[in-house]
Amino acid sequence: MTNATKTLAVIFVVISLLTAAVKWSSGPEASEAFRSELISADTSQVSRMVIEQPAQGPLTLEKSERKWRVSSASSESYPADSQDVNQALTRLLNLNITAVATRNPENFTRYRVDSTGIRVSLFDGENLLSKIFVGAPQSAGQRSLNNYVRLDNEDAVYAVEGYLQSTFTKGLDDWRNKTVWDIDQSGISQVSFSYPADSSFVIEKVPEADQTWVSGSDTLSYPSVRPILRELSSLEASGFVDSLAKDTFGAEKYTLRVTLSGGEQHQLRLIESETDTTVYLASNPDFPYVFSMEKNTWDEQVLKSRSELLND
């Protein structure tokens, strides 16, 4: 055996010994840190998600005919924002593990991965796919947070990328579908404003001229019209008023009617809240619930007088 061969053999033995030493000293925690996935499922398998926060009743998100609904123990079932639900599932099913924080059950409370944390259960029908605790946040730098998590049937507590608590601490109304209507802004051809004291008026788009709007014989300032179109093209509730039914809504203070170029119409009725001066209460014929809108935003952006829209 030549000297070069002997040297290579020695190097090989040393490397092998070092590799074995690292594996022995690292223990199972090191291998756990490099798991490719925590939950072996995909979004198409999950038909129900139950979220239990400390000292609160569970929230249930359930899929029926490809649409999600949300309910609590004390509420009826409401349409949920399917995009929000799918994003939450995608985050949960694609957790990127960065480290194993502990495998000692005595530390679970410290990381809030026991009854002090948020428990999320995923089901396929009645079959439990996985149950995971979303625990305390972990600082990942000056401007970012990660999270600690633990599978219900394991002792290992993992640090994973991303701040999960903002997703799984949402209340019932936060999960509900808030889209009243969503239309193409360029398709709006007319908006009528019905105001008190005979101050109603109509604005119309000049055909083939997207940024030219008129009211009667007056040309309007497009920078003043644009916020109205923006708000009315994608109308979302800011909250819900389940104590008030649509048939007991009462006489509206303002009515807005949006007409599209094809003739389709959308109507919005607004009244002032007797208990909250920061919102308007709203009703739409095609939306099943009375909802609220931020008063400050609507006063500044939408509910303008005709004179405010005229060119200077």
Say how many domains are in the chain. 2
DSSP E strands: which ranges in 85-144? 97-102, 118-124, 127-139
Residues 59 and 107 in one domain: yes
Residue pLDDT, tens place only, 218-257: 999 999 999 999 999 999 999 999 888 888 888 999 999 9
Final residue of a structural domain among 142, 175, 208: 175
Question: Is 26 inside a domain boundary?
Answer: no
The size of the chain, in residues, is 312
**Do residues 163 and 189 both lie within one domain?**
no
Same domain, 213 and 108: no
Domain that holds residue 204: 179-309
Dump the DSSP string for 32-60.
Answer: HTT-S-SS---TTT--EEEEE-TTSPPEE
Q: What are phi and psi of 58, to 5 degrees?
A: -70, 150
Q: Is 248 inside any structural domain?
A: yes
Asked whether residue 142 falls in the same domain as residue 159, the answer is yes
Domain co-membership, 124 together with 185: no
Tokens 């619930």 sit on residue = 289
> Do 228 and 150 share a structural domain?
no
Choose one of 159, 175, 191: the last residue of a domain. Answer: 175
Note whether 80 and 117 are same-domain residues: yes
Dihedral, CA of residue 102, residue 108, residue 110 and residue 115, to nearest 10: 160
- pTM for this prediction: 0.81
Query: Residue 82 corresponds to which tokens in the numbers above?
Result: 């399917």
| Residues 188 and 169 grouped into a single domain | no
Residue 291 falls within a domain, yes or no?
Answer: yes
* 183 & 300 share domain: yes
- Tens of pLDDT, residues 2-52: 554 544 444 443 334 333 333 333 344 545 555 667 888 888 999 999 999
Contact residues for 161 (Cβ-Cβ < 8 A; gap 6+): 95, 96, 98, 140, 146
Note whether 300 and 202 are same-domain residues: yes
Select from 148, 175, 202 the last residue of a domain: 175
| 272 domain residue, yes or no | yes
Residues 190 and 293 reside in one and the same domain: yes
Domain assignment present for 186 = yes
CATH of the domain at 205: 2.60.40
49, 81, 268 from 84: Cα distances, Å: 13, 5, 25
Q: Smallest Cα–Cα separation from 130: which of 46, 59, 71, 15?
A: 46
Percent of the chain predicted with pLDDT > 70: 88
| DSSP-based helix, strand, coil % in the chain, nearest 5 | 30, 35, 35
Mean pLDDT of the chain: 88
Is 118 inside any structural domain? yes
Are residues 64 and 171 both part of a single domain? yes
Task: Find the mean pLDDT for residues 60-85.
Answer: 94
Q: Is 23 left (phi over 0), alpha (psi -120 to 50) or beta?
A: alpha
| 4: in domain | no
Of 104 and 23, more confident: 104
